[in-house]
Chains A and B, each alone.
Chain A
Amino acid sequence: MIINIASKEIKSFFVTPMGWIILALITAAFGTYYLEGVNSYFEVMSGAIRPAERVGVTIYVGQTVYGAAFFLMLFAVPLMSMRLISEERRQQTLPFLFSAPVSIVEIVLGKFFGLFAFLALMVVYIFLMLSTLNIWADVDFGYLFSNTFGLLLLVGSFAAIGIYFSSLTSQPIIAAILSFIFAFLLLGLESYFASQPNHWFHHVSLLKHFQTFSRGVISSKDIIYFLLFISTFIVLTIRRLDADRLRG
């Protein structure tokens, strides 16, 4: 049942030009960063005289691409998640789902995984793109895996934020703006607290936990953080929709 709802979301994303446009822009942007990374690698490395300054090609290109992925997704995910529930509110189509033999949990999970599947596809696409370096160099796959894994968790968190804000309003644009601001605060405030390494904010900061993965480290602490983050917003969304039934 979750799959049925997820597939409905994916279909409705692609029946409008919106889905294709975002997909095209994102792939183009990643492709550009990738090429940029590869092209500048030799220039930069030939300038690096001491061996300590030299890094492998995977890490160099990976940093360029994953650093960009982070910001691209910050913009792209709210645009993709905004319609998930707010559009249903606007068009008054929620009764269609609520009258069918599916639970609210399934509805929310279906919508979340519909979006997540699509985002995961992009993350895998980035992985494949970077793997092509293997043709002429020895790719550090461990580094790629940990970044892929981290990015999956990060876009999952963005998606969870997006679906929650989408459930609060019947205006998709407002949902997009709110989820962008919220995600941006969680990331951007990081720099304000940079001088206080022990501030509590570092524990809830998405960026901090993502950085572990981008160094090539997979730690269970960070995985648990992201999973908790995602489940919190999914539970909030479920509660918000359930409140509809109670409040009317």
Chain B
Amino acid sequence: MATTLKALGLTRLFGPNKAVNNVSFELSKGEVLGFLGPNGAGKSTTMRMLTGNLAPTEGQVEICGVNIIEEPKLAKANIGYLPEMRPLYKEFRVNEFLRIAAKLHNIPAKKINSSIDIAMEKCGLTHMSNRLIENLSNGYQQRVGIAQAIIHNPEIVILDEPTVGLDPIQIREIRKLIKEIGKEHSVILSTHILPEVEIVCDRVQIIDKGNLVFHGSIDDLKQQRRGNKLLVGFKKTPTLKKLQSLFDIVKIEKQEDLLHVIQFKNLDFDMEKFIQVCVKEKLGLFQVSPHITSLEDTFVQLTNK
């Protein structure tokens, strides 16, 4: 797949503080990349650098092979961006504002009307077309923000917390829209809603204190969550020593009741054999299930290292 966006060693200092530290990644056509991280991690700062709104202290950004610092106009033509604070001229009506956006992005005069209609339809704004933006509710304003980012059908869409303030139905629609854009173009979105990442993204990137701490596909993240742990219930609790003599076990943690989390040394441990041995040893096995760390826990683990 063709690479659409390339970030090379992005670093940004604010005074002495490193908001973003040596972040590199690539994005391919037809991919949705999720940006995760706690508050102040540097997600928005990275996005501002990707879109040419902030000059990096060090590093390069290439948009469809064009360096955004050397040829900003050419590069920016391929980006649609929704910043954290949505930039809306509230004194205009929805369609007037989108017309301004369309003109700024050099959409040919003949196509302006149809692009406005398409963008409004995609974002569920058609019936709000003639309303003043300042009179719209928070969620509808957010939709206008998304509409202005996709109106010129850009190769790369960068959305900073796009589903903030939306109702559950609209969240679903916007996620569908993001997936749809992600089929032909590339999308980067940041979010605090962890399940959202698993729903819409193909790849995840977790950033913490300016550093990239995890970078991989959704499957990698799921793998990280499932891991090598089992949740096991014993009626008669064996000691760690006893268990270690039977299996390759690293750790055993006591949960509430008689449940224990057992961590194996290897990822590909033999479940069947484990159960057979437990039954033979009469440990009173009454429950076995894979122990899936919650996404929140994984996130906390990764960002607390």
**Which residues of A pack against B, CB within 8 Å?**
1, 4-5, 8, 11-12, 15-16, 91-103, 245-246, 248
Contact = CB atoms under 8 A, between A and B. Distances in A.
A4 B109 CA distance: 12
B104 A103 contact: no
Interface of B: 12, 14, 45, 48, 51-55, 72-74, 76-77, 79, 81, 83, 85, 87-92, 96, 100-101, 103-106, 148
B53 A93 contact: no
Contacts of B101: 96, 100
A98 B85 contact: no
Closest 9 CB pairs of A and B: A96-B87, A93-B87, A100-B104, A92-B85, A101-B77, A99-B81, A101-B76, A95-B83, A4-B103
A19 to B, nearest CB: 11
Given A94-B87, A100-B105, A248 B100 contact: no
Contact of B76 (A92, A93, A99, A246): A99
Nearest to A96: B87
A102 B54 CA distance: 15
Contact of B91 (A12, A98, A103): A12
Contacts of A92: 83, 85, 87
B92 A97 contact: no
Given A92-B85, A245-B55, A101 B92 contact: no
Given A98-B53, A99-B51, A12 B73 contact: no
B12 A99 contact: no
A5 B85 CA distance: 21
Contacts of B83: 92, 95, 99
Contacts of A93: 87-89
Contact of B87 (A4, A12, A91): A91
A102 B79 CA distance: 12
B91 A16 contact: yes
Contact of B73 (A5, A15, A96, A101): A101
Given A95-B85, A96-B148, 4 more contacts: A8-B89, A8-B100, A97-B104, A248-B45
Contacts of A12: 89, 91-92
B15 to A, nearest CB: 10
B60 to A, nearest CB: 16
Given A4-B104, A8-B100, A11-B96, A99 B53 contact: yes
Q: Which of A5, A12, A101 has the most CB of B within 10 A?
A: A101
A5 B89 CA distance: 13
B6 to A, nearest CB: 18
A101 B14 CA distance: 26
B12 A248 contact: yes
B54 A245 contact: yes
A100 B92 contact: no
Contacts of B89: 8, 12, 91, 93, 96
A87 to B, nearest CB: 9
Contacts of A98: 51-53
A98 B101 CA distance: 12
A145 to B, nearest CB: 35
A12 B99 CA distance: 13
A248 B54 contact: yes
A95 B53 contact: yes
B94 to A, nearest CB: 13
11 contacts: A1-B106, A4-B104, A12-B89, A16-B91, A91-B89, A93-B87, A97-B104, A100-B104, A100-B105, A101-B104, A101-B105
Contacts of B79: 99
A141 B88 CA distance: 47
A80 to B, nearest CB: 15
A94 B81 CA distance: 12
A97 B55 CA distance: 16
A245 B56 CA distance: 9
Q: Which of B83, B89, B96, B104 has the most CB of A within 10 A?
A: B104
Contacts of A100: 76, 101, 104-105
Contacts of A16: 91
Contacts of A5: 104
